[in-house]
Structure 1
């Protein structure tokens, strides 16, 4: 019997079956790689969303209490630069700060606040508040101690803090967090719209919606910032609902 090779039909069938197998295997590989890539993108988005919430939480908890500016999908507040205790000495207000290396040159551009009890309107500044003292006249009787004096200011003190606590902040450094054009933005300064983009994955594929609002302090609770954000990427949404309590008290 003479040996025979493959016929043309057999070769075509073999190539057809091999092609189907290769395409099937390639499809499984592509599906697995796409699933892995989607998982990485989802994890990256959630990690960066948590980073935004954590950064916002830390800054809000170190803000001067009760003077938050609440606008639509945007809050603004003033970070605490220094804090300590004060005492009324005749017509003067004397106070101490926690940082023993502070001197008058560090304070002259700041403002001292005592018992801030109300929020600011969007067109108001710290100068519109009661118990808000400019530090341009501050003196330091003893350069070796972090004790300072505001001369002839006690008559302007309305009420006061029950624990004689004060806060020092920079009126030119108002921090803002806003939801703008599908992004979470942060900025510093007196502008109401913050220009700095918080880090996200790819803004072409990630969209942020929701709201940020502030509930003022009451007898029962301190001020609370309510954050409700939805991060959407490739048709999937991840929702974060987070309440940030303003820890400082008057």
Structure 2
């Protein structure tokens, strides 16, 4: 009878060890690729969050009323009053009947201003504190004597005048602030995993525009990666 040969125990053990080493190598390779993909997604997400936050702040700050920007809480909060409509007034600003020609906003929109309690009119206000302290509500807006002209009645006569004869209708204050690891707008989250944020506002004058410098740092807790962003926004100061 012919002898039958098979695997010995030692051969089987060696085969299992080799198979385990190969499987471990393949698993480590796949894990490395997967982890690289996850890290890339996390980095892209962090950058998207930062870009969204900076773009949103930039768009709003660029439409802030002149001299209405201020910082608080050691630079972790930025506040300003956004412009809704603007126009040019004629003569001297008067509460009883001020003649004004709209620059932003149609005549129909201007005539509806007095029905919106959050809107007020500013002329030549020099600082952010006076936007609230000297808040001047609009009693009524009607057609003027000439085409395209409006007659605006205010609650009180403006305390200041504008070198360029400009009048701005602004709404309630907008505030961006750091709360824990969240960057918020009016208390609503717009960015997460924020390690720090700093707002620096440079004052504007009659011959120069204002500047807002933003330093934003985002840290991903699961990877300990830190992303730093520095951005500057120019604020048109047209009084």
Q: Does 1:133 align with 2:136?
A: yes
CA-CA distance at 1:90 after TM superposition: 8.9
Superposition TM-score, scaled by structure 1 size: 0.81
Q: Does 1:218 align with 2:218?
A: no
CA-CA distance at 1:14 after TM superposition: 0.3
CA-CA distance at 1:149 after TM superposition: 2.3
The residue that corresponds to 1:102 in the other structure is: 109
CA-CA distance at 1:218 after TM superposition: 3.4
Give the 3 Å change call, closer, same or farther, for CA 89–42 of structure 1 in structure 2: closer
1:115 to 115, 124, 132: 124
Where does structure 1 lack aligned partners over 5 or more consecutive residues? 188-194, 201-205
CA-CA distance at 1:230 after TM superposition: 0.7
The residue that corresponds to 2:226 in the other structure is: 237
The residue that corresponds to 2:190 in the other structure is: 198
Q: Distance in 2 between matches of 1:152 and 1:107?
A: 11
CA-CA distance at 1:103 after TM superposition: 4.5
Q: Distance in 2 between matches of 1:39 and 1:239?
A: 17
8 Å Cα contact 1:231/1:237 also seen in 2:
yes
Q: Distance in 1 between matches of 2:174 and 2:93?
A: 36
The 3-state SS of whatever aligns with 1:63 is coil
The residue that corresponds to 1:249 in the other structure is: 238
Q: Does 1:57 align with 2:58?
A: yes
Deviations 1:25-84 (A, max 9, x none): 101110110111011011111111110000000000011011223202101111111011
Where does structure 2 lack aligned partners over 5 or more consecutive residues? none
Superposition TM-score, scaled by structure 2 size: 0.85
The residue that corresponds to 2:173 in the other structure is: 174
Moved more, 67-76 or 214-223: 214-223
Q: Distance in 1 between matches of 2:7 and 2:132?
A: 95
8 Å Cα contact 1:71/1:213 also seen in 2:
no
Q: Distance in 2 between matches of 1:105 and 1:43?
A: 44
Q: Distance in 2 between matches of 1:246 and 1:182?
A: 27
CA-CA distance at 1:153 after TM superposition: 5.9
Q: Distance in 2 between matches of 1:152 and 1:174?
A: 20
Q: Does 1:93 align with 2:98?
A: yes
The residue that corresponds to 1:76 in the other structure is: 79
CA-CA distance at 1:88 after TM superposition: 2.2
8 Å Cα contact 1:86/1:94 also seen in 2:
yes
Q: Does 1:184 align with 2:183?
A: yes
Q: How many equivalent residue pairs?
A: 227
Q: Distance in 2 between matches of 1:67 and 1:5?
A: 89
Q: Distance in 1 between matches of 2:141 and 2:21?
A: 86
